[in-house]
Amino acid sequence: MGVISIMHFQKIVLSLFLALGIQVFLMGSLLQAGPVKGGILYLNISGEPTTINPITSTDLYARNVKAYTMESLLNRNDDTNEWEPALAESWEISKDGKTFTFKLRQGVTWHDGKPVTAEDVKFSLEVIFNDKYATAFMRPYYDKLEPRVEIVDPQTIKLFAKEKYFGNFMSAAELQVVPKHIYEDPNKGSKLNKVITGTGPYFLDSYERGKRIVLKRNEKWWGWTVPYYKDQYNFDRIIMRFIQDENVAVEMLKKGEIDFDEFTPEMFVTRAIGEGWGTKVLKVKAENLQPKGYGYIGWNFRKPMFQDKNVRIALTHLMNRKLMNDKFRYGMSLVATGPWYQQSEYASKKVKALDFNPKKAIGILKKAGWSDPEKKGVLQKTIDGKKTELRFTVITANKDFEKYLTIFKEDAKKAGVDVEIKVMEWNSLMKLLDEGKFDAANLGWGGGDVDLDPKQIWHSSSAVAGGSNFIAYKNPEVDALIEKGRETMEKKKRIPIFRKVYELIAADVPYTFLFNNRYVLYGHQSRIKKPKDTFKYGIGTNHWWTQE
């Protein structure tokens, strides 16, 4: 091989740099062009909503639909978590912090073409306090506001705080506005379960029961002309599927039948592998500051056996969460310690997760009076003059969680506890929860807000039909501290109060708290483009687009 002269070598290097420079320039030009409008996004929302009526819907599945179709007065920025204009283009807070004035955006219309009015905002707040509607679950967030809206003029409204509450402005700003002309008659509730009318960037195009929900771009959305929304909501249509089986969901993602799905650690490690992964379909492991949800088994306090804290503690000692985390979650989760995600600054670091300790569990149950005098293998105790066996059913709508419960069932059996597992359809499970007709339930809560408020789930006032405290947990000290924390306006003073709430609830073990996620895990088709893997306070799918 000949020797290359220095001058010739320099020419080669210069040519390579020029070529690279051209490539970088071209890539930069493509990036500067921004997201592409059009195309279809196929989503899996994991289950069919019980209802998509925006007033009465409570589940996460419906929340996915509402995120694209319904709007509030203000929005949160995905990266800063600061307030941004939405249906209200400007706002003011009075000096005493008790009056919130919003200037409504002009020219906004509902999906049916009728104009949004101040009367709609007024109705949207008043309906929360109206017993004719199933809105008890929302009242904890609005109970410090007066149940009225003052209409100053057609574009100006005022909401009023009647008592101190750190979240009053947040509640007012996040008020979901619904059309009065459609939802004002409470007797039409059941007829509105499969329809939704809002002001958002997408409207409901079709709903095929048991199959999918199709949303279509709302060409008349006010946001298309606002600079900070110009790169968002880029798809022409969004098609939502209800795939609960994780194996099916991963295969559909791999085949291109859905474009995006959030993963459990097990899906990420064991199922999102093989041919096509890394080329046709991509998987992402990221971290952000979004509040993390958790799973749990809730013990129904209406059942005599679960009114004894010793039983709830013993059952938690029989839950081998470390094994479950290692075996099914590959160490990617944290064993939960209390009633919200432990990464929160409102969570007490003093609280440690109860360990898996069958010997300790058996000792606690024996001390609490449970025994097996008939040698049946099931512990029993006389409660209120009635022989009660330590036998119960855990209901779940998550088929994949059955393997976790099976481990629990086998370990519990060795300790004299008979556990039955019942996998149910979501709507049927929700009906049992609303009626209080269950023993124990496996469910999960979302992360909520960064500045969380425990009242909705943990205050005794929420232990009503349709309330989120469906296990009927009641602790007067917890109630008092929740109220004190809600009235504490300074965050640094509120944090220790809510940390004490965390400690008290964790000590009561009303749930067996399962896992807190450490990472954001998801997969998407390579044709889907995004500015980054995650924003600071959420994945940010509303910023995505498709590159066919």
The tens place of each residue's pLDDT in the chain, 548 residues long, gives: 343 333 333 333 334 333 334 343 333 333 446 799 999 999 999 889 989 999 988 888 899 999 999 999 999 999 999 999 999 999 999 999 999 999 999 999 999 999 999 999 999 999 999 888 888 788 888 989 999 999 999 999 999 999 989 999 999 999 999 999 999 988 876 788 899 999 999 999 999 999 999 999 999 999 999 988 989 999 999 999 999 888 899 999 999 999 999 999 999 999 999 988 999 999 999 999 999 989 999 999 999 999 999 999 999 999 999 999 999 999 999 999 999 999 999 999 999 999 999 999 999 999 999 999 989 999 999 999 999 999 999 999 998 899 999 999 999 999 999 999 999 998 899 999 999 999 999 999 988 889 999 999 999 999 988 789 999 999 999 999 999 999 999 999 999 999 999 999 999 999 999 999 999 999 999 999 999 999 999 999 999 999 76
Is 352 among the domain residues?
Answer: yes
Q: Which domain holds residue 175?
A: 70-181
User: Judging by beta carbons within 10 Å of its beta carbon (0-12, 13-18, 19+), is residue 106 exposed, middle or buried?
Assistant: exposed
388 and 504 fall within a common domain: yes
Q: What CATH number did the domain enclosing 301 receive?
A: 3.10.105.10
**Are residue 397 and residue 526 in the same domain, yes or no?**
no
Q: What is the CATH number of the domain that holds 533?
A: 3.40.190.10
Give me the pLDDT at residue 489, please: 92
Do both 387 and 429 map to the same domain? Answer: yes
Residues 117 and 228 in one domain: no
281 and 400 assigned to the same domain: no
CA distances to 143, 144, 174, 475, 488 from 97, rounded to whole Å, are 16, 12, 17, 30, 13
Please check whether residues 313 and 349 belong to one and the same domain. yes
Prediction pTM value: 0.82
Whether residues 374 and 395 share a domain: the answer is yes
| Tokens encoding 301 | 């306090």
Q: Are 515 and 333 in contact (CB under 8 A)?
A: yes
> Distance between CA atoms of 258 and 41, rounded to whole angstroms?
8
User: Which of 181, 205, 228 delimits the end of a domain?
Assistant: 181
Name the residue type at position 442. Answer: N
**What is the per-residue pLDDT for 59?**
83
Burial environment of residue 210 by CB neighbours within 10 A (0 to 12, 13 to 18, 19 or more)? exposed
Q: How many angstroms separate the CA atoms of 260 and 264, rounded?
A: 13
Domain tally, the chain: 3
Judge if 203 and 339 occupy the same domain.
no
Q: Do 524 and 386 sit in the same domain of this protein?
A: no
- How far is it, in rounded angstroms, from Cα 302 to Cα 177? 36
Both tokens assigned to 220: 């008349």
Residue 187: inside a domain: no
CB 358 within 8 A of CB 318: yes
Q: Is 431 within a domain?
A: yes
**Is 7 within a domain?**
no
Nearest alpha-carbon partner for 241 in 226, 230, 251, 231: 251
Asked if residue 327 belongs to a domain, the reply is: yes
Q: Are residues 439 and 329 in the same domain?
A: yes
* Helix H or strand E encompassing 150: strand 145-153
What is residue 516's predicted lDDT score, i.e. its pLDDT?
Answer: 94
Q: Is residue 334 part of a domain?
A: yes
CA distances from 273 to 49, 266, 276, 524, 539 (A): 30, 11, 8, 13, 22
Report if residue 106 sits inside a domain.
Answer: yes
pLDDT score, position 478: 98
Same domain, 513 and 524: no
Instruction: Judge whether 28 lies within some domain.
Output: no
Question: What CATH number has the domain bearing residue 176?
Answer: 3.90.76.10
352 with 494, same domain: the answer is yes
Three-class secondary structure of residue 101 per DSSP: strand
